[in-house]
Amino acid sequence: MNKSLICAICLSTLLVAGKTTAQSLAPLTPGEAVDLAIQNSPQVRASKLTTKKAALLVEQEEYRYIPTLSADAGVRYGRSVSLSPNGARLIESNSIVLATGISHTLPIGTVLSADIEVGRTYRDSVELGDLGAAYDTAVNVQVTQPLLRGFGGDLGRANLRQAKLQEKVVDAQETALLNSIVLDTLESYWSLWSAERGLEIQKSALEIAKKQLAEAEIRMGAGDMAPAQLVPLRIQVAQAEEAMVTQEAQIRQLSIALAERLGVGTNESIRTDAAGPKQTVTPSLEEATELALKESPGISQIKANIGATKIRTEVAQNNALPRLDALASVNVAGLGTTPSDSLSSFGSLDAVVLYGGLRLELPVINRARRIEVERSEADTIIAETELELAERALKAEVASLLVNLQTAQQRLELAKDTAELARENVDAQNARFEAGRGTMLEVVDSVESVREAEFRVVQIEIQIAQERLKLDELTGRLTENWR
């Protein structure tokens, strides 16, 4: 990377990306242009935040099933009615209760909970007198296990699986964005490169025309040529100068367009590196197709969508099941007139209550949940159809690109041969003119043929470069090859 480029990058970093740079960024290599475009792209910055959000969602879902602690403290005061052999009696009581517990839900749907409660209750009755204080201690452990709806580790991890699929989608979208930026930047870069090479061809043609005109004027001064014979040469020089102006304006416009893509200032001209598009090994149809199906961001997104619809189908099918839960609990209590008596009573395990049972929930009409299952299954079929169509289109596009590349490479060899023959023809026409067997117009036409042939060579080279870029994008090698 040259010094002017380093200075430009530093300035654009310290100031504001996209502002006018103080020094020319030219000449740039394709890799440097791609790096600048990605570095200064607001879309890339936004994409990185989206990627971070997707990763955070996965992390959030990984912490979905964690134990929950609880604590309670309260005071209760009031009167209650109690039956006795002598009838109903009012008993006044005030209590202080402290409780703490922990609960945890497992991915398979199991709900575990345990809590400890201690309390002090003072009771008094008008008829019965002071009933004194009572201290109680209780531990309760409860387990609830879904047997139908809500059962299964895959179901419990459905949100995590969805989040991971979404992360894959975001990664594919970021890859597609980078490919788009690289492709657009390089297409703009090679358009500018082509225009610059065209300007060099125009300059060469103008120099030849001026040289021929100067030689013809000398011969005219010596009386060997008539003034009318110089008219075609003067026309050629004028046309070449006009073409130069047009070509320079086109270069300036393409330079501005490239600067806009790179996110740098447009007050300085950007020039491309003199080296042309690099030649890479063209893969076979089988290899290219396999790479494209494996690396295509679009295919990856559709596959992730299929996975998401299958997960939604699993969830919908589970939600359509009846709810049948198995419940079990153990309660151990202790009671006494003092805290130590309460703990002793608790430790004796005399007051133990065991419970086991089933709880069933059935919707009166389950049609809505069955419809959701059908909709999810239809979404899966639609997504699988989209995948099949996308794979077909991708295979056809790869095959078409390879045909275009092969044809363009053949045309390039022929165009180079044509350009070489055109240059030989210039010498031949000059010799014929010198021998008096040709006309100046034939000489001018031969020079114009050289210019057109050299233009075709450049245009075909750019066409090959663009076809290779598209093939690299499809096979997932675009960013790797140009960064």
**Which of 324, 304, 323 is closest to 312 using CA atoms?**
304
pLDDT digits (tens, 9 = 90+) for 57-72: 999 999 999 999 999 9
For residue 469, pLDDT over 50 is answered with yes
Distances in Å between the alpha carbon of 322 and those of 66, 159, 312, 399?
27, 21, 18, 53
Tokens read off for 48: 């990185």
The Cα–Cα gap between 292 and 79 comes to: 79
Mean of pLDDT values over 1-22: 36
User: What is the pLDDT at residue 4?
Assistant: 39
**Which of 26, 8, 35, 38 is closest to 483 using CA atoms?**
35
The Cα–Cα gap between 201 and 215 comes to: 21
User: What is the pLDDT at residue 217?
Assistant: 81
Contacts of 400 (CB under 8 A, 6+ apart): none
Mean of pLDDT values over 297-315: 94
pLDDT digits (tens, 9 = 90+) for 314-334: 999 999 999 999 999 999 999
User: What is the pLDDT at residue 131?
Assistant: 67
424 alpha carbon, distance to own chain's centre: 53
For residue 386, pLDDT over 60 is answered with yes
C-alpha neighbours within 13 Å on the C-beta side of residue 60: 10
Q: What is the mean pLDDT of the chain?
A: 86
Mean of pLDDT values over 282-292: 91
User: What is the pLDDT at residue 392?
Assistant: 96
What stretch of H or E contains 88?
strand 87-105
Q: What is the CA radius of gyration of the chain?
A: 42
The Cα–Cα gap between 147 and 357 comes to: 12
| Beta strands at 87-105 and 111-125: parallel, antiparallel or unpaired | antiparallel
pLDDT digits (tens, 9 = 90+) for 231-245: 887 888 888 888 889
The Cα–Cα gap between 8 and 176 comes to: 28
User: What is the pLDDT at residue 244?
Assistant: 87
Mean of pLDDT values over 456-474: 91
User: Edge-to-edge, what's the strand order for the sheet holding 323-336?
Assistant: 68-84, 87-105, 111-125, 129-146, 323-336, 351-361
Q: What is the CATH class of 3-60+161-306+380-482?
A: mainly alpha
The Cα–Cα gap between 196 and 258 comes to: 13
Three-state SS annotation for 309-353: HHHHHHHHHHHCCCEEEEEEEEEEEEEECCHHHHHHHHHCCCEEE
Tokens read off for 438: 């040709």
Are the beta carbons of 395 and 288 closer than 8 angstroms? no
Distances in Å between the alpha carbon of 445 and those of 24, 131, 390, 434, 436?
39, 126, 50, 16, 17
8-state DSSP, 273:
-
Torsion (CA) 393, 398, 403, 404 in degrees, nearest 10: 90
Domain boundaries, the chain: 3-60+161-306+380-482, 68-105+110-149+323-361
Q: Pick the residue with more confidence: 207 or 225?
A: 207
pTM for this structure?
Answer: 0.76
User: What is the pLDDT at residue 20?
Assistant: 37
8-state DSSP, 40:
T
Residue type for position 450: V
pLDDT digits (tens, 9 = 90+) for 25-46: 558 888 899 999 999 999 999 9
Are the beta carbons of 324 and 145 closer than 8 angstroms? no
